[in-house]
Chains A and B, each alone.
Chain A
């Protein structure tokens, strides 16, 4: 390891991020705060209904019948002369308790069954999933109405039944959450640590499904309130206590006499249910925003990377006096007949907070005809982003912010976004070989179909001609039985074979430039060597230009003519392969080269072990 560089991952920069609790983040969301305040007001008015209003919700005074609002009665009185505001407050009790009963029932049934079914699977899983599907297929309102005709209009019974009918939603959510984490390695690690199933579920599994469950619960509560009001509106509820649905029903029958009366219960139901829904949505946004961005290709440079950039700046500043033309990514010799020229490329991702995360910064490189350029760097160095910019395949959220890319002396991409030539070049002049062969093949089509279709579309070949060409190509990429592979589906071949098929597809339309993004990383070493042999052969035979994106210096040594080393979005060094390996100028390049293990001595035999033993099977 070079002495210039301190081990970056051993030095944790002090950041004041700390652990932020979920509820604190939720409280930063204005939608969540507003909806929570409304819900709190509704609950408080229900609890302290007697104290807030002086009116008895059941006291009828025919003198006040249909009294207008803002008089003696703040919101007026109904047809029997009962105070509307008092009835709203007291009615909230019925609605909220009803919703609570339904919610508790749904959770009490759904969570335990979902946990057991998801964690242990087996017969209980099959049986309960089948039963959940059955319940979901039942029309809820009709079942409840049928039940009322049997057991009478008791609220508790009705809401328990309704909760049971809603429980499959909770069950499914819990089960799918558990199934997705039970294969996670940290569950295995907990098992190895000797934790019991109960502790694994309560500590590791329940935490993962907590947030989605709160979201689901707010939805269920909303639905329950609406259903309960609906039942009361239909007149199947208990008519002796005030409720929102009942008020709605009464207002509806007096709609021509006192049209404003329907407003109040409608408004409060809408506000409550809407707040529940908005709270659920706000919570979902918060939870999703908190998820680690590990699966996205783009990411903000971590603190570690930022420090390493700073370190690099210092070191380049120190060597500025003796800087050579190849340092700092500056390129002074740029042949005019270069196949591909990238000049001062800058790629960034605008963030929601208005800032921009720069992932590629001022990269200049070129590829000649028949030349293999290695683009080397660690994860987050921007090497793949550079390759995607050339292909015109940056995600929608990213953009070229500066510089130009030109192919065969024609500008195909620039910051103004005017020239979008890459799309027309893909498949014709550009061939692309991905890292994961399997995820780049559609599992529902045969390999042959996936080879033939682009050829017919782009080269305009007839189906038989395209098939003949595809079989030739499969033979060329070293597939022993091209016909069988042609008719096979992706799952029927190995990863190495799939990569050969993709290589065949990439060169099918005789591209001038082949862009290979870590084409051998997912393959076994022996297969990697064969694929590299194949790529080298094809590249020479067709004198294609090629960009080899890789992190492996062995691969670079094997195939590349020239190498560009990237770090944290910048090009730090560019040189001929032999020159770079013999005499790396940049400290980062030196550090990377010294990290390769291929040349290190094998570890010495243990001193306690007296004599070595050795054996070969077969």
Chain B
């Protein structure tokens, strides 16, 4: 990467050469390499969108940052401090700074706990007094546009979008500086999705939190990200400003990805479709040409 301009700012999170391997069942089978040397950095208050198809390793990056994936090589540092391998106690200290919002709002909230208990958990663990925690919970519910009486109710009384708001409130409870968002709107309905994305942006503008925003949907990533990294088979194939990567991509895979997303209008989609066919034909031709040169 040719990052000349960002000398003014120190990156909040730096990932360099990250490798993650999952053991494969069976004796002496080679492990599965989910990430093959990934490098990425996120500035304070910035949204880094991470887009790719299923199995490309985008979720694994987020889990590695959270300490939930087996790291085989490379390093992750947060705010200048190496966090690649942390003890449980150090990880706990870091939990105030790095938080997570998961994809499925149905399994990410314990069905047996009230919203208040769910939000209080990180606060009480970090040593907040009970009364201060109650005030903070009211503040958090307000921040995510839920009424304060929501605290006494159970997750099953809420819709998917409301549950995701609770999950966002839980992530923000300790005023983190980075939130890993793992497909946080993929399970939501279209109209809910747009509102939750706007909430993410609104919160970022209010609190200056940085997001590592993982999604398979290029349009979602474009909507929320300042910069975008495109993943393909365990590697980052393209990074850059959101407008550039999602508007005029350079890598053949990103080009295919962009052209594959259907446009919600029949006429424009027909144009997009023929463009896509033309792109695929030209990519195939250039691949074939490369083969013959060899």
Residues of A within 8 A of B (CB): 1, 7-10, 12, 14-15, 17-19, 184-186, 188-196, 199, 203-204, 207-208, 291-292, 294, 302, 304, 378-379, 495, 524-529, 532-533, 551-558, 577-578, 581, 591-593, 595-600, 602-603, 605-606, 608-618
Closest-by-CB residue of A relative to B195 is A7
Given contacts A605-B243, A610-B8, contact A599 B263 (CB under 8 A): yes
B46 to chain A, nearest CB (A): 6
B152 in contact with A18 (CB, 8 Å): yes
A194 in contact with B91 (CB, 8 Å): yes
Q: Is B53 an interface residue (CB 8 A)?
A: yes
User: Can you list the 9 inter-chain pairs with the closest CB atoms, starting with the nearest?
Assistant: A554-B262, A194-B92, A194-B95, A9-B161, A614-B240, A185-B108, A553-B264, A611-B5, A529-B260
Q: What separation, in Å, do the CA atoms of A609 and B227 have in the docked complex? A: 11
| In the complex, chain A residues whose CB is within 8 Å of the CB of B111 | 291-292
- Which B residues between 10 and 57 are near A, CB-CB below 8 angstroms? 43, 45-47, 53-54
* Complex interface bits, B255-293 against A, C-beta within 8 A gives 1, otherwise 0: 011011111111111000100100000000000000000
- Pick the residue among B88, B159, B197 that contacts A302 (CB under 8 A): B159
B159 in contact with A615 (CB, 8 Å): no
Q: What separation, in Å, do the CA atoms of A552 and B160 have in the docked complex? A: 18
Q: What separation, in Å, do the CA atoms of A412 and B146 have in the docked complex? A: 47
| In the complex, chain A residues whose CB is within 8 Å of the CB of B96 | 194
B249 to chain A, nearest CB (A): 9
| In the complex, chain B residues whose CB is within 8 Å of the CB of A595 | 190-191, 193-194
| In the complex, chain B residues whose CB is within 8 Å of the CB of A193 | 95, 99, 121-122, 125, 170
Q: Is B212 an interface residue (CB 8 A)?
A: no
Closest-by-CB residue of B relative to A2 is B191
| In the complex, chain B residues whose CB is within 8 Å of the CB of A591 | 191
| In the complex, chain B residues whose CB is within 8 Å of the CB of A599 | 263-264
Q: List 20 A-B contacts (CB under 8 A).
A: A1-B194, A15-B157, A19-B153, A186-B110, A292-B155, A379-B160, A379-B189, A524-B216, A525-B217, A526-B257, A552-B262, A554-B261, A581-B264, A593-B264, A596-B219, A596-B264, A597-B217, A602-B246, A608-B45, A613-B5
B91 in contact with A9 (CB, 8 Å): no
A188 in contact with B102 (CB, 8 Å): yes
* Complex interface bits, B216-256 against A, C-beta within 8 A gives 1, otherwise 0: 11111011111000000001111111111011001100001
Q: What separation, in Å, do the CA atoms of A195 and B88 have in the docked complex? A: 9
Q: How many A-B residue pairs have CB under 8 A?
A: 264
Interface residues on B, range: 35 or more
- Pick the residue among B54, B113, B195 that contacts A9 (CB under 8 A): B195
B121 in contact with A190 (CB, 8 Å): yes
Given contacts A292-B156, A613-B2, contact A525 B246 (CB under 8 A): no
Q: What separation, in Å, do the CA atoms of A599 and B6 have in the docked complex? A: 30
Given contacts A185-B102, A192-B66, contact A603 B269 (CB under 8 A): no
